[in-house]
Amino acid sequence: MKIDTKQFRVRPGEKVNLRKWQTIGKPICDSKEDYKNLLQNHVEQLSALQHLLYASDRYALLLVFQGMDAAGKDGAIRHVMSGINPDGCDVSSFKQPSATELQHDFLWRSTQRLPERGRIGIFNRSYYEEVLAVRVHPELLRNEGLGEELRDDKDLWKQRYRSIVEMENHLHRNGTRIVKIFLHLSAEEQRKRFLARIDEPRKNWKFSLADIHERKFWKQYMEAFEECLRETGTRHAPWFAVPADDKDNARLIVSQIVLDALGSLKMFYPRTTAKRLLELHAIRKLLLK
C-alpha cells in the first residue's frame, strides 16, 4: 500500500493558513494489526534503501522535524527509523544554544551536524528554531550578540529566510537531499498529551512548567510557522505539513515521505571491475582449499 503524500506537501510560495490544514485525517489502516504490518513493511524498505545509500556514497539525506511540544517528533523518529543501521544515521536534537554556539552565526551549530555522503541526518528541531522560537521570543536575539541595528532591522526575518533557503540550495547542489516535516498538532490534542504526561508516572519526566508557558504563545507560533512554511519551502527542500493528532497515521505518512525521498535518488551498488573479480576468484579458491 502506497500512501499519496502530495496532499501534505506545501507548494513553494503558497500562503499557508494552518487553521485550514487538517490535524487529523481518515485512518490509513483499518486496524492496529494492519498499521503494524504496514509500518514494518516501510521500515524494511527504508533499511534496504539506507544500505544502498551508504553503498552508493553519492548522496546524503537530511530530515528536519519541526512541531510544537508533544507533536510526536521523538516517536516518529524512533518508530520510522527503527530499522536503520545506526552506523549510517545520526540524530541531532537542538535545544538552547551554548555560549560557544552563540558566538557564531545562527546556522553554524547545525552545519556542524550535517550528514556526510552515504548517511542520513535527522534534526529533531533545527536551525528553523531561529525563525520560530526566536521570532516568538525576540528577546532571545540579545543573547546572540547581534548589534542593536541588526536586532531592530525590520527585514531581519526575511534575511534569515533567505540565508536558510540559500544554504539549502547549496546543500542540494552538492548532493544533500533535504526533506522537512512539520508535525501539525492541534492545541486540544497537545492538552490531552500533556495531561497524559502528568497522569502516567513513566511520562512525568517529559513534562515541565515551561511547556505550559509556551502554550500561551500558540497563536504566535502558528503565525510563525505559517510564514516559515511559505518562505522556506522550495522544490529542492520541500515542507510537508503532516496531521499529527493521530500518531499512527502520522508515522505512516512520515515513513512514506522518507521512502519517496530515498526512492527518487539514482543510486546503485558499486560495480565490480574485471581486476577485482579476478582477485575475488583467487580468494575464493583459497577459502575452498
74 belongs to a structural domain: yes
| Nearest in space to 76 (alpha carbons), one of 32, 105, 42, 34 | 42
Most confident of 88-97, 149-158, 166-175: 166-175
Q: What is the CA radius of gyration of the chain?
A: 21
119 belongs to a structural domain: yes
Out of 146-155, 170-179, 199-208, 262-271, least confident range: 146-155
Containing structural domain, residue 157: 6-288
Out of 48-52, 130-134, 138-142, least confident range: 138-142
115 belongs to a structural domain: yes
* Helix, strand, coil share (%) of the chain residues, nearest 5: 55, 10, 35
Percent of residues, the chain, with pLDDT higher than 90:
79
Per DSSP, 186 falls in state: -
pLDDT averaged over the chain?
Answer: 93
User: Quick one: cell of 203?
Assistant: 511520562
pLDDT value at position 280?
A: 86
What kind and span of H or E run contains 229? helix 218-232
User: Quick one: cell of 166?
Assistant: 540559500
User: 52: Cβ–Cβ under 8 A, 6 or more apart, which residues?
Assistant: 267, 268, 269
User: Quick one: cell of 71?
Assistant: 507533536
pLDDT value at position 157?
A: 95
- 240 phi and psi, to 5 degrees? -120, 125
Assess contact for 124 and 69: CB atoms under 8 A. Answer: no
64 belongs to a structural domain: yes
19 belongs to a structural domain: yes
Out of 17-21, 73-77, 138-142, 192-196, least confident range: 138-142
1 belongs to a structural domain: no
Beta strand spans in 107-175 (E): 120-124
Sign of CA dihedral 208, 209, 214, 216: positive
Count of structural domains, the chain: 1
Assess contact for 253 and 181: CB atoms under 8 A. Answer: no
- Split at pLDDT 50, 70, 90, the class of 234 is very high
- Split at pLDDT 50, 70, 90, the class of 212 is confident
272 belongs to a structural domain: yes
- 65 phi and psi, to 5 degrees? -110, 125
CATH number for position 225: 3.40.50.300
How do strand 120-124 and strand 60-67 relate by DSSP bridges?
parallel
pLDDT, mean of residues 59-75: 97
